[in-house]
A and B are shown apart, each in its own frame.
Chain A
Amino acid sequence: MSRHVSGRSAAFAVTSAFLATLAGPVFAQEAPAGYPADYAALIEAAKQEGTVSIYTSTDAAQSQRLQDAFVAKYGIKIAYNDLGTNGAYNQVISEAAASQTTADVVWSSAMDLQMTLVQDGYAAEYASPEAGNLPDWADYKNMLYATTVEPIGVIYNTKALSEDQLPKTYADMIAFLKDNKAELQGKVATFDPEKSGSGFLHHSNDARERSDFWDLAKAMGENNAKIYSSSGGMKETVVSGENVIAINIIGSYALDWVKESPNLGVHFSTDYTPAFSRLALITKDAPHPNAAKLFVDFMLSAEGQSHLAEGGLPSVRGDVTAGLNIETLNERVGGGLKPIAVDEGVLEYMEQMKRVEFLNEWKAALGR
Chain B
Amino acid sequence: MSTHTHAPAAVALTKATAEKKYPARMPRHGNAGAYRIIVIGLLAIAVLAPVGLIIYQSFLTAAFFSPRAQFGFDAYRYVFTDRTFYQALGTTTIFAFGMVAIAVPLGGLLAFLITRTDIKGRRLLEVLVLVPMFISSIVLAFGYTVSVGPTGFVSLFVRDLIGIVPWNIYSLPGMILIAGLSHVPHVYLYVSAAMRNLPSDLEEAARTTGASIWQVSRDVTLPMVLPALIFAAALNLLLGFETFGIPLVLGDPNGIMVLTTYIYKLTTLFGTPTYQLMAVVAVVLVLITLPLVWMQRRLLRNARKYAALGGKGSRVATLKLGGSGQLIALSIIGFWLFVSVVLPIGGITVRAFVDAWGEGVNLLDQLTLMNFSRMFEVPSLYNGIVNTIILSVVGGAVAVAIYLAVGLAGHRNWGLSNTVLDYIILLPRALPGLVVGLAFFWVFLFVPLLTPLRPTLVSLFVAYLVVGLSYGLRLLQGTLIQVAPELEESARTTGATIGRTWKDIVIPIVRPGLAGAWALIMIIFLREYATGVYLMGAGTEVIGSLMVSLLQTGAMNTIAALSLISIVLTGAGLALALRLGAKIHD
Contacts and interface: CB of A to CB of B under 8 A. Distances in A.
A189 B453 CA distance: 43
Interface in B330-372: 355-361, 365-366
A314 B534 CA distance: 29
A232 B351 CA distance: 14
Nearest to B365: A262
A355 B272 contact: no
B324 interface: no
A87 B549 contact: yes
A125 to B, nearest CB: 22
Nearest to A116: B272
A194 B268 CA distance: 6
A94 B377 CA distance: 31
Given A4-B538, A59-B553, A97-B66, A102 B271 contact: no
Interface in A1-15: 1, 3-9
B348 to A, nearest CB: 13
Given A226-B253, A240-B151, A98 B359 contact: no
B56 interface: no
A91 B535 CA distance: 9
Nearest to A117: B272
B381 A60 contact: yes
Given A6-B538, A233-B554, A241 B549 contact: no
Contacts of A84: 549, 552
A233 to B, nearest CB: 4
A239 interface: yes
Contacts, number: 197
Given A102-B455, A195-B264, A359-B269, A3 B555 contact: no
A196 interface: yes
B452 interface: yes
A59 B271 contact: no
B271 A349 contact: yes
A197 B268 contact: yes
B318 interface: no
A137 to B, nearest CB: 22
A81 B554 contact: no
B356 A262 contact: yes
A60 B378 CA distance: 7
A344 interface: no
Interface in B248-300: 252-255, 264-265, 267-273
A78 to B, nearest CB: 8
A82 B380 contact: yes
Contacts of B149: 240, 242
A242 B268 CA distance: 27
Interface string A47-90: 00000011001111100100000000000001111111111011
B555 A59 contact: yes
Contacts of A233: 551, 554, 556
Contacts of A54: 538
Interface residues of A, number: 74
A218 interface: no
B446 interface: yes
A233 B381 CA distance: 20
Contacts of A368: 255
Given A240-B359, A241-B359, A3 B539 contact: yes
Nearest to A84: B552
A228 B65 CA distance: 32
Interface in B532-565: 533-534, 537-540, 549-556, 558
A235 interface: yes
A58 B360 CA distance: 32
The residue among A59, A113, A196, A260 with the most chain B CB atoms within 10 A of its own CB is: A59
A235 B446 CA distance: 40
B451 interface: yes
A217 B284 CA distance: 34
B374 interface: yes
A263 interface: yes
B553 A95 contact: no
B555 A6 contact: no
A159 interface: yes
Nearest to A86: B267
A200 interface: yes
A368 B359 CA distance: 29
A189 B150 CA distance: 14
Interface in A338-362: 349-350, 352, 355, 359
B226 interface: no
B456 interface: yes
A237 B356 CA distance: 10
A113 B272 contact: yes
B578 interface: no
A337 B65 CA distance: 41
Nearest to A10: B379
Nearest to A231: B554
B254 A226 contact: yes
Contact of B534 (A90, A227, A237): A90
B123 to A, nearest CB: 39
A263 B361 contact: yes
B445 interface: yes
Nearest to B355: A260
Interface string A259-303: 011111000000000000000000000000000000000000000
A236 B271 contact: no
Contacts of B445: 94-95, 98, 100
Interface string B435-462: 0001001100110000111111000000
A93 interface: yes
A64 B314 CA distance: 60
A4 B538 CA distance: 7
A368 B253 CA distance: 12
A98 to B, nearest CB: 5
Interface string A108-119: 000011001000
B383 interface: yes
B569 interface: no
B268 A60 contact: no
B377 A228 contact: no
B360 A232 contact: no
A234 interface: yes
A192 interface: yes
A94 B380 contact: no
Interface string B52-88: 0000000000010110000000000000000000000
A228 B356 contact: no
The residue among A90, A196, A227 with the most chain B CB atoms within 10 A of its own CB is: A90
B269 A194 contact: yes
A61 B271 contact: no
Interface of A: 1, 3-9, 53-54, 57-61, 64, 78-87, 89-91, 93-95, 97-98, 100, 102, 112-113, 116, 159, 189, 192, 194-197, 200, 226-237, 239-242, 260-264, 349-350, 352, 355, 359, 368
**What are the 9 tightest A-B residue pairs by CB atom distance, in nearest-first order?**
A232-B554, A240-B358, A4-B539, A6-B379, A230-B554, A241-B359, A97-B65, A79-B538, A240-B151
Interface of B: 63, 65-66, 145, 149-152, 252-255, 264-265, 267-273, 355-361, 365-366, 374, 377-383, 438, 441-442, 445-446, 451-456, 533-534, 537-540, 549-556, 558
15 contacts: A58-B553, A83-B537, A94-B63, A94-B445, A97-B66, A102-B537, A116-B271, A200-B271, A229-B551, A232-B556, A236-B554, A260-B356, A261-B356, A263-B359, A368-B255
Given A79-B539, A240-B358, A263-B360, 20 more contacts: A4-B539, A57-B553, A61-B377, A80-B380, A82-B380, A90-B267, A94-B65, A94-B445, A97-B63, A98-B446, A100-B451, A116-B272, A194-B265, A227-B255, A232-B553, A233-B551, A237-B253, A239-B361, A240-B151, A260-B356
